[in-house]
Amino acid sequence: MITSAEYEQALRICLQYKSQINAEVESFTNTDKLLVNMSATREISTRLFNIARTNLAYFLPYLKDVDSYDYKLSDLLKLQQQQLSGIRNVGVTMRYEFKNLKEKYSKL
């Protein structure tokens, strides 16, 4: 038989794990990350970041109310593969990275 103190200790440990798991899930599913931060942490390639930034004028008609200084992953994920294909220097590798990002972060 366990004591009340042991039960409370076990409960505290479970709650700590729960909050840690929630924080990890939240960080994984947060699509409001700035692309510049994702590039700095190497979550997206420098090439995808540069293409997304330099071609922002091309993307803007597809993205309503996007501030060019606060370009976020959620904005990029609104694009379709065909829209990326129309951009110079976007090849198979870039479309594959975009597809993986979309699969990873679109499961919200």
Domain ranges across the chain? 1-30, 31-105
pLDDT tens digits, the chain, 108 residues: what are they? 889 898 889 888 888 877 777 666 555 455 667 777 888 888 888 888 887 777 766 666 666 666 656 677 877 777 777 777 777 778 888 888 888 888 888 764
Alpha helices in 1-108 (DSSP H): 4-29, 35-40, 46-54, 56-59, 73-76, 81-85, 92-105
